[in-house]
Amino acid sequence: MPLLRRAVERLGALAVPAAHGLARDARPWLALLGADVLTDHPGPETLPGLMNELDEQWTARAWCGPDRTARRLARFGPDAAGAVPCLRRFWVQTPHSCERTAYLEALAAIDRDGLDYVYTECLWDCEETTRLLGIASAPASPETLSRIAVLRDDLMETTEVRAAARARLVASTNQQLS
């Protein structure tokens, strides 16, 4: 059944109509698959529950899992603005650096205000995906461009980060020349 799950996951939102029927199937494995699709592609009626879930995760200091909730909230864009304070708390205080990218992506999808500093901070993050977000989104100041140049030239850095830094610096130079 793993192949079926992968095929359904690749369908993304296109699987939602069929997932309603799957979620009610008598076979538990098929019902679970349908429920998972519906959970990953929530309708507007689920927004209050997702915001409550995030608050409960914060209250319980449940450090594993809020990234999934954050990704689900991000799909609602500005309609999920009530989750922003909690997402910011998770961004700042999570002990799981690998989840920070999901919190930042959710914040950006919901409300980009005030993220310039965060994107700049990302340039020093220990997670590659977070550094990539910083390279792509940090404002073009002398400090950030200098840090991006360091990332471009750092032989210990990943190929992806070095390439993204190189592309950002080229784009910045071309923009200055225009």
Same domain? 143 vs 168 = yes
Beta carbons within 10 angstroms of residue 96's beta carbon: 14
Same domain? 11 vs 61 = no
User: How high is the pLDDT of residue 150?
Assistant: 98
On the CB side of 115, CA atoms within 13 Å amount to 24
Same domain? 140 vs 108 = no
User: Phi/psi of residue 43, each to 5°?
Assistant: -90, 170
Same domain? 106 vs 131 = no
Element (H or E) spanning 38, and its range?
helix 28-40
Same domain? 109 vs 53 = yes
Structural domain total, the chain: 3
Residues 6+ apart with CB under 8 A from 1: 29
Same domain? 74 vs 119 = no
Same domain? 120 vs 94 = no
Same domain? 66 vs 98 = yes
Same domain? 31 vs 60 = no
Same domain? 49 vs 85 = yes
| pLDDT bracket for residue 178 (50, 70, 90) | confident
Candidate from 40-54, 57-71, 140-154 with smallest mean pLDDT: 40-54
Global confidence as pTM: 0.79
User: Phi/psi of residue 158, each to 5°?
Assistant: -70, 155
Same domain? 109 vs 121 = no
Q: What is the pLDDT of residues 19-61, one digit of tens each?
A: 989 989 999 999 889 888 887 887 788 899 899 999 999 999 9
Q: Is the pLDDT of residue 1 over 90?
A: no
Q: Structural domain of residue 19, as residue ranges?
A: 2-40
For CA atoms 4, 7, 12, 16, the dihedral sign is: negative
C-alpha to C-alpha distance for 85 and 104, rounded to whole angstroms = 12
| Boundary of a domain, candidates 113, 142, 170 | 113
C-alpha to C-alpha distance for 36 and 19, rounded to whole angstroms = 9
R_g over Cα of the chain: 19
User: How high is the pLDDT of residue 4?
Assistant: 87
Same domain? 53 vs 99 = yes
| Boundary of a domain, candidates 66, 81, 113 | 113
Q: Which residue has the higher pLDDT, 68 or 43?
A: 68
Nearest to 38 by CA among 92, 75, 80, 79: 75
